[in-house]
Amino acid sequence: MRIDVITIFPGYLAPLREALLGRAISAGLVDLAVHDLRTWTRDVHQAVDDAPYGGGPGMVMRPQVWGEALDAVLALDERPARIVVPTPAGRPFTQATAQAWSGDERLLFTCGRYEGIDQRVVDDARRRDLTVDEVSIGDYVLVGGEVAVLVMVEAVVRLLPGVLGNPASAEQDSFSDGLLEGPAFTRPEVWRGLAVPDVLRSGNHAKIARWRRDRALERTAERRPDLLAALPEDALDDADRAF
Ligand SMILES: Nc1cc(-c2ccc3cc[nH]c3c2)n[nH]1
């Protein structure tokens, strides 16, 4: 997978080259290129923003600079790219989104700042039949798109074959079966007077699986009843319903 990121703060994306993601890049599983939007400015001040039409607070990012940047970065590789625009006004980015994008050949992230990017940049890309997804990583407002890109790239890249040491980790993720993950434990058996649940040390794998499923159902019902309500009819078996 090729990942391009366009931003006025390239340094914000440095964490993508650390740890697991850094190893995925070194292993050739991911090609990452971060581009400074100011490369495509033409004025001495390298202006990327201007006052909003219609008034209001803050500034809006200029379409000319973004248009040239997008055209140039898209042209760097012939593979079709999904253009991703992080915005509080976007469709929710979920584990299902990450799963879907993990099958893409190329992702191109555009990091807005100020009050966002002139809408015509998205409109122009869409009318050229480019895939453009405006997405939100949650119902809170950040100062720019860079942090959202860190989140989304990590969620997607960890799903690529060969990235996680144990692929089963991704298969047993929270949300992978529509439920939240239950609690996890490791040694010591007793820590500050708190013991690991006996069932987990029983060696009875059927009982352990049932216990884990019950804890996942319990946690989901308590913390995210919306996820429970959204489960497909056949997602819960009789044992689940008995819980
Ligand atoms: N989910 C979420 C996205 C954002 C976001 C994304 C881009 C920009 C550009 C300027 N402010 C931004 C905020 N906040 N929260």
Cα 142 to middle of ligand 1, angstroms: 5
**Distances in whole angstroms, Cα of residue 126 to Cα of each of 37, 77, 101, 129:** 20, 19, 18, 5
113 lines ligand 1 (CB under 6 A): yes
pLDDT in the model for residue 216: 97
pLDDT (tens digit, 9 = 90+) per residue, 164-218?
A: 988 777 776 777 789 999 999 999 999 999 999 999 999 999 999 999 999 999 9
- Ligand 1 pocket test, pick from 5, 49, 87 with the greatest ligand atom count within 8 Å of Cβ, gives 87
Q: Is 63 in the pocket of ligand 1 (CB under 6 A)?
A: no
pLDDT at 177: 86
- pLDDT at residue 44, as a whole number: 97
Rounded Cα–Cα distance for residues 14 and 135 (Å): 22
CA–centroid distance, 158 to ligand 1, in Å, is 23
Does the interface ipTM go beyond 0.95? Answer: yes
CA-closest candidate to residue 93, choices 81, 103, 84, 105: 84
Say whether 173 is catalytic: yes
In this prediction, residue 243 carries a pLDDT of 78
Residues 140 and 92 sit within 8 Å (Cβ to Cβ): no
Q: Which residue owns the Cα nearest ligand 1 atom 7?
A: 145
Which of 135, 142, 147 has the most ligand 1 atoms within 8 A of CB, as the residue to mutate? 142
142 CB near ligand 1 (under 6 Å): yes
Which range is least confidently modeled, 86-90, 103-107, 119-123, 167-171? 167-171
Please report the pLDDT score of residue 166 as a whole number. 81
Q: Phi and psi (nearest 5°) for 51?
A: -70, 150
The answer to whether 81 and 107 have CB atoms below 8 angstroms apart is yes
Whether 42 sits among the annotated catalytic residues: the reply is no
Helix, coil or strand: residue 223: helix
- CB-CB neighbours of 119 under 10 Å: 11
User: Can you tell me the distance from the alpha carbon of 71 to that of 49, in angstroms, rounded to the nearest whole number?
Assistant: 19
Nearest to 175 by CA among 121, 123, 224: 224
Q: DSSP secondary structure string, 175-222? A: TTTSS-------S-SEETTEEPPGGGGS--HHHHHHHHHHHHHHHHHH
59 lines ligand 1 (CB under 6 A): no
Query: Which residue ranges form the domains of the chain, and what is each CATH number?
Result: 2-157 (3.40.1280.10), 174-242 (1.10.1270.20)
Stated pTM of the model: 0.95
Specify the pLDDT at position 115.
Answer: 98
**What local confidence, expressed as pLDDT, does residue 117 receive?**
98
